[in-house]
């Protein structure tokens, strides 16, 4: 029983780690939402996307989640006419980041719920271990 509870801690810990990293990437996206290029006609910040993958932890003999890749969202940039802006192209248009705050907030809430669920697993396993020790004592 203790081995399976220990595995629960390890699996949930891996979930906490990846969701924490996902929250960091989401925060980075939100922070760079209004950024523009440093050069006229250049590309601004491009939204980052975190993907997960299943991985076998050979030492423990269990499947855990880990970060697969962090890729760029290749959706189009928005163009805004502002010929006085330093990043404006020769036609007077500035490329704006492809970060959508509504999508980032939705992703943030999903990551938060997943993080809290993994915390709940750890708390439940800890309670079960405490009760088992009480019964044995």
Element (H, E) at 72: strand 62-72
Q: What is the pTM of this model?
A: 0.85
CB atoms within 10 A of CB 76: 8
Cα–Cα distance measured from residue 11 to residue 125, given in angstroms and rounded to the nearest whole number: 11
Cα–Cα distance measured from residue 110 to residue 115, given in angstroms and rounded to the nearest whole number: 9
Element (H, E) at 122: helix 101-136
Cα–Cα distance measured from residue 19 to residue 37, given in angstroms and rounded to the nearest whole number: 30
**Count of domains forming the chain:** 1
**What pLDDT, on a 0 to 100 scale, did the predictor assign at position 6?**
83
**13: containing domain:** 2-136
- Name the CA radius of gyration of the chain, rounded: 22
**What pLDDT, on a 0 to 100 scale, did the predictor assign at position 57?**
86
**What pLDDT, on a 0 to 100 scale, did the predictor assign at position 117?**
96
**What pLDDT, on a 0 to 100 scale, did the predictor assign at position 129?**
86
**What pLDDT, on a 0 to 100 scale, did the predictor assign at position 2?**
55
pLDDT string in tens for the chain (137-residue length): 556 878 888 999 999 999 999 999 999 999 999 999 989 989 999 999 999 999 998 888 899 999 999 999 999 999 999 999 999 999 999 999 999 999 999 999 999 999 999 999 999 989 988 888 888 87
Cα–Cα distance measured from residue 84 to residue 69, given in angstroms and rounded to the nearest whole number: 38
């Amino acid at each position: 029983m203790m081995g399976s509870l220990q595995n629960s801690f390890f699996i949930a810990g891996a979930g906490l780690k990846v969701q924490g990293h996902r929250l960091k990437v989401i925060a980075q996206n939100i922070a760079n939402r209004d950024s523009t290029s440093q050069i006229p006609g250049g590309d601004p910040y491009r939204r980052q996307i975190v993907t997960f993958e299943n991985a076998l932890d050979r030492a423990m003999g269990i499947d855990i989640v880990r970060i697969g890749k962090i890729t760029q969202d290749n959706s189009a940039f928005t163009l805004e006419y502002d010929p006085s802006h330093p990043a404006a192209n020769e036609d007077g248009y500035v490329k704006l980041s492809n970060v959508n705050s509504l999508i980032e907030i939705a992703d943030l809430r999903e990551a938060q719920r997943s993080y809290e669920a993994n915390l709940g697993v750890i708390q439940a396993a800890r309670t079960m271990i405490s009760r088992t020790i009480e019964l044995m004592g």
